[in-house]
Structure 1
């Protein structure tokens, strides 16, 4: 007798696999990605009262991964308003274990105050400094030593060189079977000069991912995640450690 739960999972897997070959669906998603980034759609959301500046699709994807992996530690570069830290901490609170370590070169006083006063702060630690500072990276590695399952999320400076260096420093901390998630790879897929920032087409997180994968065989792109989401700021940015 067929297990209905497994049958549902198989049906979902097969459906997702067809999405790349559906041009109308792919085109609709691409159009939304383009116009929504132009109009700062991701800035519209909060999690438990804090601005999160993420697409709901990526939030659901991260929730799936966290619930599946039940990590002891989630490391994130880039804090901003702290919404992602709060989000990850709240899922860990539901699981009943784990902590979040956030890194930012400039933790604004008003954001620090709100994060530290939040109920989920009990699972959060923040470090101020550049994520590619080797002294800070060594401190993060020390904090990760006793952790069994570790995820890493990169969402700070989005230039190629910065993200590639972050990957070199923090990818070794990711445990086998877990994920290194590189946000804002979508910069490569948008028109040139879409941002008034140092990153641009040809100089962004996705180009860093491509360079990293050429020199590191321990990770692979989770293409099923890309096909499932379609609308995401992190296409080709969900990297699973396979060895």
Structure 2
């Protein structure tokens, strides 16, 4: 018995619903309210990837997987190593794409010994490079650039210090490294969605106004090279990073 191949229609419906969800302000508000309520349980800290704490929400993990699978970067740069789970996660998806030389570069001002050990002893360690230093320091950026092979497709995830100025400085430093069609992901943009006077608790409290979303919006006024992906971001209502997934349109000249 034959059936109709409805894959294109299925994907079109997903895209339509994702974009529609992104316009539902009430749904986003309800999700943000729930996330703030779950902060008392350290909800983002309850997850792991292949044995290592990942400190991400499930929706962000799935969305990042979709982006990596669809764009197949050769290099992913992540600022903010924490316990290393995100590096392991992204390395595992790169491995699944079949690109044998693809790797993740983790940048952090303080890579603690026990976290370094968890990363370096992991089965995927050969796909991960660690750079210790301030993410926007000239010396650090020089090391990062040296680890990018000529012609490599590059994706960037910014997930370190979430203050406005630091995120804006990171966008300016790492945005130009992103390849055409690949993504700049600014994490924890949900802080910019919380009510005035409220905060999101991670390693420290982050407050609206001095937050990644405000920084990203400023950066997007300074460049025409990125667009906020309406489909990916539309479905990220129960997420740490709604509005944070930006696709590069063209290379600056």
Q: TM-score range by the shorter chain?
A: over 0.9
**Higher relative helix content:** 1
Please say which of residues 138-147 and 210-219 is displaced more in the overlay.
138-147
After TM superposition, give the deviation of residue 47 of structure 1 in Å: 0.3
**CA shift digits 1:164-190 (9 cap, x unpaired):** 111111111100110000001111222
Aligned equivalent of 2:13, options 11, 14, 22:
11
- The whole-number CA distance in structure 2 between the counterparts of 1:37 and 1:147 is 42
Corresponding residue to 1:204 among 181, 186, 211:
211
CA-based RMSD: 2.0
Instruction: Indicate conservation of the 8 Å contact 1:17/1:224, yes or no.
Output: yes
| Segment drifting more, 7-16 vs 114-123 | 7-16
TM-score (norm 2): 0.89
Q: State the Cα distance separating 1:103 from its structure 2 match.
A: 0.4
Mean Cα deviation higher: 227-236 or 138-147: 138-147
Gaps of 5+ in 1: none
Q: How many corresponding residue pairs?
A: 243
Q: Cα offset for 1:16?
A: 2.2
Q: Which of 119, 123, 128 is matched with 1:119 structurally?
A: 123
Does residue 86 (structure 1) correspond to residue 93 (structure 2)? The answer is no
8 Å CA contact 1:72, 1:147 repeated in 2: no
**Helix, strand or coil at the partner of 2:124:** helix
Aligned to 2:175: 171
TM-score scaled by structure 1?
0.93
Greater Cα shift, 9-18 or 115-124? 9-18
Contact 1:221–1:238 (Cα < 8 Å) also in 2:
yes
Aligned 1:144-183 pairs, distance under 5 A: 144-183=148-187
Q: Flag the structure with more relative contact order, 1 or 2, with Cα contacts below 8 A and sequence separation at least 6.
A: 2
How far apart are residue 21 of structure 1 and its match? 5.2
The 3 A distance-change label for structure 1 pair 23 and 80 is: closer
Q: Given that residues 185 and 246 in structure 2 are in contact (C-alpha distance below 8 angstroms), is that contact kept between their aligned partners in structure 1? A: yes
Q: Which whole-Å CA distance do the structure 2 matches of 1:152 and 1:237 have between them?
A: 12
- Contact in 2 for aligned 1:100/1:124 (Cα 8 Å): yes
Say which of 58, 76, 80 aligns to 2:78.
76
Runs ≥4 residues deviating over 3 A: 20-28, 195-199
Any unmatched runs of 5+ in structure 2?
none
> CA, structure 1 residues 26+172, in 2 after alignment: closer, same or farther (shift >3 Å)?
closer
- Name the CA distance, whole Å, in 1 between partners of 2:236 and 2:73: 22
The 2-side partners of 1:205 and 1:45 are apart by 22
**1:14-33 equivalent positions in 2, closer than 5 A:** 14-20=16-22, 25-33=27-35
Cα distance, 1:138 vs. partner?
1.9
- The answer (yes or no) to whether the contact 1:186–1:206 under 8 Å persists in 2 is yes
CA shift for structure 1 position 2: 7.0
Alignment of 1:95-114 (within 5 A): 95-97=97-99, 98-114=102-118
